[in-house]
Amino acid sequence: MGKVVIVGSSNTDMVVKSRRLPKPGETVMGGDFIMAAGGKGANQAVAARRAGSDVTLIAAVGDDMFGRRSVEGFRAEGMDVSHVATLEGVASGIALILLDEKGENTITVAPGANMKLSPSDVDAAADVIRAADVVMVVLEIPMETVERALKVAHDAKVRVLLNPAPAPQGPLPRDLLSKVFVLTPNEAEFKALTGLQANEDDDWAAARKLASEGPGAVVITLGSKGAVLATRDKAVHVPPYRIKPVDTVGAGDAFNGAFATALAEGRSLEEAARFASAAGALATLKLGAQPSMPWRDEIEKLLSSQ
């Protein structure tokens, strides 16, 4: 069992499902309401755990019902929560999600305690990071905390996966990218990083160019079009799984958590991307983020069916 450490966010998702997404200033009568654990860091931690990893989450929650409920959920998943800080006088992170009948969504996040996760929290967990097979970091926490996590892992020669979500405002520093083993943006995040579309018209040249600017590889998740794995020298398209999505919330996090798991087990980048693609597809079949994260036997079953 590989050891995966996730440094990132924990939120509670409040989801309203309706026939269509409202336009600005418009009220649309919705249907089902769901409250579920979320946040990119926590989602990826649950995804990695269910995919088969020994997982430690480094995160922060508020001392409120949302935070307590989140930590209880992490424990129930079998994750190490000794580095999930509970902060007094700070609200836990909340995400408000609108979901239409096609599975598309809009999301607004109030980060709360996530923005209080500090470099000192990373330092307190440094031994755990150094002992990991893979460290995954997301951007829903302060950038100085991201930088510290990357440095601790890189200095210990631990492979770092950086999921640049939410989309950054422009390129990331080359010094930061040089510490990343694999960068895992979606299409919107890739465009925010490079100003370019992720398309195959020129043999994924834009993705290969980004890979040449620091990270060892770039994996771009393309939703219903699958994913592309690019190094500076070549690019490989990972085909999608043909399914009818119910809810796309959390699909990218399922991909990232499963990808980290596969790499921690010693699989190649291409094998890991295919494993992750199956996990991402399965995550769209259920409502909610963490509740939709697939289990390993489900992933392997879908892989063997293709």
Residues classed as catalytic: 253
Cα 130 to Cα 18, 236, 268: the distances in Å are 45, 31, 21
- Nearest partner of 11 among 101, 99, 117, judged by Cα: 117
Distance CA 46, CA 40 (A): 10
| Sequence-separated (6 or more) residues with CB below 8 Å from residue 158 | 129, 130, 132, 133, 134, 135
- H or E segment at 263? helix 251-264
What pairs with residue 234 in β-bridges? none
Cβ atoms of residues 81 and 75 within 8 Å: yes
- H or E segment at 228? strand 227-230
Cα 267 to Cα 98, 221, 227, 247, 300: the distances in Å are 36, 19, 17, 29, 14
